[in-house]
Amino acid sequence: MNVLHRLKSWFSFGKATPAYPFAALFKKFQNILKANNDALELIADMGAKLSGDYVFDRQYILSSSAELSDQVYRLIVDLNTLTSRKYLELFNRYERIHQSIEEELAGKWILPQGDAVIAYEAMGQGLHELVGNKNANLADVKNVLYLPTPDGFAITTSAFRIFLEQNGLYQMIQQRLQQYADEAELQEAQTPQSIESIAEEIQDAIRNGQIPESLQREIADAVRALQQSKRSSGLFFAVRSSAWGEDAEYSFAGQYQTLLNVASDRLLDAYRSVLASAYNPSALVYRSRKGFQQHEVAMAVGCQLMIEAVASGVLYTMDPSADERDVAVVSATWGLGAPLVEGMVAVDTYTIDRQPPFQLRSMHVVRKPTMLMLSPDGGTETRPVSPELENKGCLSSVQLQRLVEMGMLIERFFKRPQDIEWALDADGKFFILQTRPLKIRPDSGGPTLDIAEIAKRHPVRMQDRGIVVQRGVATGRVFLLEDPDDLEGVPHACILVTHHTSPRLARVMRRIHGIITDVGSQTGHMATIAREFRIPCVVNTGMATRIFKTGEEITLDATQNAVYEGRVEELLYYEFTEEDVFEETYEYRLLRRLLKRISPLNLVDPHESNFRPADCKTYHDIIRFVHEKAVEEIVDLENSRVGSSGQARELVMDIPLGLCVIDIGGGVRPQADEKRIGRRDIVSVPMNAFLDGLETSGMWDSEPVSVDFGSFMSSMTRTMSPALSDPRNAGRNLAVITDAYFNLSLKLGYHYNIIDAYVSDQVNDNTAYFRFLGGVTDMTRRSRRAGFIGEVLERFNFRVEIRGDLVIGRIKKCPRKIMEQKLWMLGSLVAYTRQLDVQMHEDADMEKHKQSFCQRILARLQEESQSNSLQPITHNP
Amino acid sequence: METERKFQILILDDEPIVCKRLKPALEKAGYEAETFTQSAMALHRITEKEFDVVITDLKMEGLDGMAFLTEVKKRYPKTEVIVITGFATMDTARQSYQKGVFDFVAKPFKLKEILDVVEKAIAKRTATEKGNVP
């Protein structure tokens, strides 16, 4: 159904029904809360599938996307019913996102939007789709590992898209490729003739295409910037392909074109030529054999300044052919490396230990009569090698050590043995020209791995505890991290063992081999980051910090979820030889692309100007927007109908909370009074836990904090959402409860909390959501308080998001007792922070308050656990 | 260890990704695994070889999983069949169990889950074999 049709049916539906009874509207509100939770669950679920721990198929992607689209659509309908159609624009937003998801699922050719030209040093991580793998890998080597690489820039797949669009080639290529695919299927064997002619037609069209002026300008700007930094006008480039899929699990080695020593005024031709090579016949066949869909083609190009190489070659960080795998192999020749890569010349070969100090094991030096050199006017030429160098090895053992050390750093980062092209310049400096995964074949005779055998030699230290967040195998020495703030001491290549997950670990992610934690969730921020870096990671083991000691050597197999004593090389190598890396499968790529349209949250703060339907870019944005507006609306509705019904009941408490309770299913004792109820009447599990924390933690400081004049003024000028600034709201707080659920909109002083929680014996349904916003003082102090709250929430294993003075914390799937503890803590936290921002004079106060709060809470929980009403907080399975 | 017979597993699922993921996981656990994405090919293969465990999807083009597993059980009553499917209804579950299916795993599943089920199926099969040999 298209959007117009939907809107029409919507309007005609609306005309006949002017106003709904409150009960009906309330039902809608309930639906929204439920659909909101369901949709967020589904998103988290889809995200969790990227961990590699699950086997999922295309059907899963289709059905979960469809289900999510459905949920989101229903949310929009319900919100518009609730608000008398205030947010019809959401339908347009929905339609746009839905459409793009459908296109992805249908396998349409969607090239990324983004900069057309990006310099290597400006390339952030994760730009693989925009700059291609080869460029992205090289950028990581440069910007993350700080190893020398040539300067230069990438012309992105976005530029590729612009080029195709402006030349009208999009359609034409699609048609030809479809024709090719059809024919291939029809005849089962590909007829070389038809491939040749189709390839030729596409390539011609690209070579004769016009490069859009804007792109020409951007390329010229990038060249000019390099000319300025190099103080030279005569620059020469290596122009290399960097296509989707290239240099990932599939090397595409030799499939696409590389042009060497291209003068800057010849760059555009070289660019077109490399683009065209995306459609050469062998690349077409290669792609279809390797399971690439034809629509997954996009060519970015790397333009790197030529290195005047004295010697060049290739480093394999692991010898793919040797019986003994603990060596790296270096091949080398004089001059440029192209003849070596193409297998045109005899080369020196060295084998070197993979472990420090990287000793030379063997060398085989041959006669190298010729070498490829740069021609002064561009291009390359073959020249004779001088007689004294002809029979000499290209590299000294010291140079080899340096090279292999660089290689091992790269291997660790990319989690695979690497095939690295390098060049050595006249100053004796090594440059990494490109790096890609090296495929290691298992020993002949098939896999010989035997877990039972391994366990005999390497005792199992831990098995099947916790959740695998990122699979993979890591070996290293344990480093027990006691204070997640103190990351300075974390050594390179260790396996980090820590009590809880923290997104702050991102800082050391690059240098560690693996992570094991006592507590934590699969959907936390740290989990996301571990996946980004592909660090084998197991969280929530409940015991790791008690079992492991700093310095002991272990092997973490986060695929089987086991930890072995010592270094189990077989496991590591077995992982290296696995046929397919999960992350390189089509389904993984598809799900990841879909999630980009689903899960990022751009609408965070309802007070920001972008908090409106027109700025909803993802499903998550829509869900968030609907939830916010639904709660706002129901608070408004409640206020406008005070006294009109007995449904909302006042909760009488020792603390002046001004709280109204609406029971929508078993949250209040049946015998309770119809107008006023007391604490004893509440039977809602999460509500009681929260109120207990609020009342009994001793955190509610009844002494009013003196508000200085500046704070007072700033409170007068704060803009509140309409529902909150309504004077009738003063002292009116709302809780919607059932036996296992509560949604509390709480305005205390000048700040605003939402706590939404479901707690029952069904562990998987349990969730708690905490949102905190506002405050009486200036932004700096409010941000300090937000920082404090964020840290506390993190300390209690919530997943935390902070923007300005807005804090969101989430936790889920803990057993009931633990959830009750968390809510108890939230109650205390709300009480503690009630007027705290007034006291936040300096940054150090944040830490002071965190210490004092956490100490008091932990002590209380300890006491409580001894009296058996709550379990100790560290006992989090 | 080396001389012991490796247990033979056949996997049939029309989505290549499922085969791609299951095969190495099973091999790593010490089994030998063959994968098929077309039921006709799998059907042919079982005429040539007896497998200890068969893992099959239910809904596929051509001959569907139910017909395939019926054929497997008819030919080799002792072979344990594990059904993996994304459309698990009570009805299909009941029907599969009636045909003597060992277990039913809903997609998506964790690798660990399926490995556990396979281990149990193997244990059951070994027990039956021992029971039959005097």
Q: How many angstroms separate the CA of residue A620 from the nearest CA in chain B?
A: 23
pLDDT band at A730 (very low <50, low <70, confident <90, very high): very low
Using a CB-CB cut-off of 8 Å, the residues of chain A touching B114 are: 55
Q: What is the pLDDT of residue A74?
A: 93
Task: Give me the mean pLDDT over the A515-531 stretch.
Answer: 74
A582 near B CB under 8 A? yes
For residue A560, the chain B residues in CB contact (below 8 A) are: 28-29, 112
**Residue A704 vs residue A690, higher pLDDT:** A690
Q: Is the peptide bond before A357 cis (omega within 30 degrees of 0)?
A: yes
- Residue A402 has a pLDDT of 95
For testing contact with chain B, the best of A49, A55, A450, A576 (most B CBs within 10 A): A55
Determine whether the interchain pair A56/B30 forms a contact, defined as Cβ–Cβ distance below 8 Å: no
pLDDT at residue A132 above 60?
A: yes
pLDDT beyond 50 at A519: yes
Residue A781: predicted pLDDT: 66
Percent of chain A at pLDDT > 90 equals: 34
> What is residue A447's predicted lDDT score, i.e. its pLDDT?
46
> Pick from B105, B127, B100: which is nearest to A57 by CA?
B105
Q: Which residues of chain B from 24 to 43 reach within 8 Å of chain A, CB to CB?
A: 24-25, 27-30
ipTM for the complex?
A: 0.87
- Nearest-by-CA chain A residue for B59: A59
pLDDT over threshold 90, residue A847: no
Check pLDDT > 70 for residue A361.
yes
pLDDT of residue A726: 36
Tell me the average pLDDT across A630-640.
70
B112–A559 C-beta distance less than 8 A: no
Query: A481: which strand partners?
Result: A498
- Res B133 pLDDT > 50: no
Nearest CA in chain A to B107: A56
| Residue A645 pLDDT greater than 60, yes or no | no
Contact list, A55 vs chain B (CB under 8 Å)? 17-18, 21-22, 107-111, 114
Shortest CA distance from A580: residue in chain B: B20
Whether A227 and chain B come into contact, CB under 8 Å, resolves to: no
Q: Is B116 on the interface with A (CB under 8 A)?
A: no
What confidence category does residue A421 fall into, taking pLDDT thresholds of 50, 70 and 90? very high
Residue A453 pLDDT more than 80? no
Strand partners, A660: A650, A734
Contacts of B20 in chain A (CB under 8 A): 579-580, 585
Report chain B residues whose CB lies below 8 A from the CB of A59.
15, 86, 107
At residue A722 the predicted structure's pLDDT band, cuts being 50, 70 and 90, is very low
Q: Using alpha carbons, list the distances in angstroms from residue A338 to A253, A266, A333, A351.
A: 13, 20, 10, 21
Sort out which chain A residues have CB atoms less than 8 A from B25's CB and list them. 559
Confidence of residue A441 (pLDDT cuts 50, 70, 90): low
Nearest CA in chain B to A62: B86
Quick one: how far is CA A268 from the chain centroid? Answer: 35
Residues 6+ apart with CB under 8 A from A49: A56, A60, A591, B108
Lowest mean pLDDT among A126-135, A195-204, A441-450, A451-460: A441-450
- CB atoms A54 and B109 under 8 Å: yes
| B1 CB within 8 Å of a chain A CB | yes
Mean pLDDT confidence for A588-617: 83
d(CA A774, CA A727): 17
Mean pLDDT over A576-595 rounds to 74
Q: Which residue has the higher pLDDT, A740 or A848?
A: A740
Distance CA A239, CA A258 (A): 6
Per-residue pLDDT at B55: 96
Looking at per-residue pLDDT, the higher value among A179 and A70 belongs to: A70
Option in B17, B24, B112 nearest A585 (CB): B17
Q: How confident is the model at residue A592 (pLDDT cuts 50, 70, 90)?
A: confident
- Cα–Cα distance between A559 and A48 in angstroms, integer? 15
Whole-number percent of chain A with pLDDT over 70: 79
Query: pLDDT class for A310, splitting at 50, 70, 90?
Result: very high
Q: Is the pLDDT of residue A142 over 70?
A: yes
Query: Does pLDDT of A511 surpass 60?
Result: yes
Whether the pLDDT of residue A786 is over 90: the answer is no
A661 within 8 A of A668, measured Cβ to Cβ: yes
How do residues A524-536 score in pLDDT, each as one tens digit?
A: 567 766 766 678 8
What is d(CA A493, CA A505) in angstroms, rounded to the nearest whole number? 14
Residues in chain A within 8 Å Cβ distance of B30: 449-452
pLDDT digits (tens, 9 = 90+) for A215-265: 999 999 999 999 999 998 889 999 999 987 676 655 666 678 889 999 999
Interface check for A63 against chain B (CB to CB < 8 A): the answer is yes
| Residue of higher predicted confidence among A508 and A59 | A59
Residue B134 has pLDDT above 60, yes or no: no
pLDDT score recorded for residue A290 = 64
Give burial (CB, 10 Å; 0-12/13-18/19+) of A828: buried
Contact residues on chain B for A442, CB-CB shorter than 8 A: none
CB pairs under 8 A between A and B: 72
The 10s digit of each residue's pLDDT in A184-228 is: 665 555 555 677 888 889 999 999 999 999 999 999 999 999 999
Cβ contacts of A469 on chain B, cutoff 8 Å:
none
pLDDT band at A643 (very low <50, low <70, confident <90, very high): very low
Mean pLDDT across the stretch A489-506?
83
User: Measuring CA to CA, which residue among B44, B57, B82 is closest to residue A56?
Assistant: B57
Rounded CA Rg of chain A = 31
Q: B18 and A53 in contact by Cβ < 8 A?
A: no
* Token duo for residue A137: 């890998």
Dist CA A233 CA B93 (whole Å): 73
Shortest Cα–Cα distance, A618 to chain B (Å):
24
pLDDT at A787: 79
The pLDDT, as a whole number, for residue A19 is 60
**Model confidence at A869, in pLDDT bands (50, 70, 90)?**
very low
Cα–Cα distance measured from residue A288 to residue A678, given in angstroms and rounded to the nearest whole number: 70
DSSP assignments along A376-443, one per residue: TTSSEEEEEPPHHHHTS-S--HHHHHHHHHHHHHHHHHHTS-EEEEEEEETTS-EEEEEEEEPP-PPP
pLDDT of residue A527: 72
What pLDDT sits at residue A121? 92
At A370, the pLDDT band (50, 70, 90 cuts) reads: very high
Confidence class of residue A31 from pLDDT cuts 50, 70 and 90? confident
More confident residue, A282 or A350: A350
Kindly state whether A57 is in contact with chain B, defined as any CB-CB distance less than 8 angstroms: yes
Predicted TM-score (pTM) of the model is 0.58
A764 part of contact set with chain B, CB < 8 Å: no
Confidence of residue A854 (pLDDT cuts 50, 70, 90): confident
Inspect the interface and report whether the beta carbons of A449 and B22 lie closer than 8 Å: no
Q: Higher model confidence: residue A113 or residue A267?
A: A267
Most confident of A282-291, A452-461, A626-635: A452-461
The tens digit of pLDDT for each residue in A646-703 reads 367 888 888 777 788 888 778 889 888 877 899 999 999 999 999 998 888 777 764 4
Chain A residues touching residue B37 (CB < 8 angstroms): none
Question: A573: pLDDT confidence band, cut at 50, 70 and 90?
Answer: confident
Residue labelled with tokens 């210490």: A851
CA distance A755 to A752: 10
Residue B34's pLDDT is what?
Answer: 95
**Separation in Å, CA A290 to CA A128, A143, A435, A507:** 19, 31, 20, 36
Q: Which H helix or E strand runs over A276?
A: helix A267-276
Using a 10 angstrom Cβ sphere, with 0-12 exposed, 13-18 middle and 19 or more buried, the burial of residue B29 is: buried
Q: Whole-number mean pLDDT of chain A?
A: 80
